Amino acid sequence: MQQSGMLWTVNRMLALVLGIVFILIALIGFFTPVRNPTGVQGLFGILDVDFVHNLVHLITGLIAIMAALGGQARTFNQVFGIVYLSLGLLGLFPFLYFPPGTYGTDRGLFLGLLHLNTADHAFHLLVGLTAAAAGFFFAGSGSPRSNL
């Protein structure tokens, strides 16, 4: 019989998949050519990424894998879900982008740190909602919790 920390629950599988996906996105982003003088790269021709954005994806992916393998997948999904849902929603407010962009339609950097676009916001909302749903509604058994 396996210990409960070693079972492949919904949360554990999702954290591992998120970790792998985020690491792959980061690695692809690091090797995607710069699209314009602001340092923005077009990942898959859709997502805006830059060095800082790729670094955030890489760190997030590594933390997700550590959580999946270390028995903290549910907590990771809860925190990740809230953070990425918040990021997706906050990214919709133009006043959070500064300094103003100097190239084409560049609105500036989100919180002065990294480039984001509408596709990034949709991606952040989707993965945030998925992780939060798994983290808050699935207990360790792999089935939806009913009486916790």
Phi, psi (deg, nearest 5) at residue 9: -80, 170
Angstrom distances, CA of residue 111 to CA of 16, 53, 70, 146: 29, 12, 32, 40
For the stretch 94-147, pLDDT in tens is: 888 877 655 445 567 888 888 788 888 899 999 999 999 999 999 865 455 443
Higher pLDDT, 144 or 48: 48
Euclidean distance between the first and the last CA atom of the chain, given in angstroms as a whole number: 24
Task: Tell me how far apart the alpha carbons of residues 130 and 56 are, in angstroms, rounded to a whole number.
Answer: 19
Angstrom distances, CA of residue 77 to CA of 42, 46, 62, 124: 27, 25, 14, 13
For the stretch 77-89, pLDDT in tens is: 999 999 999 999 9
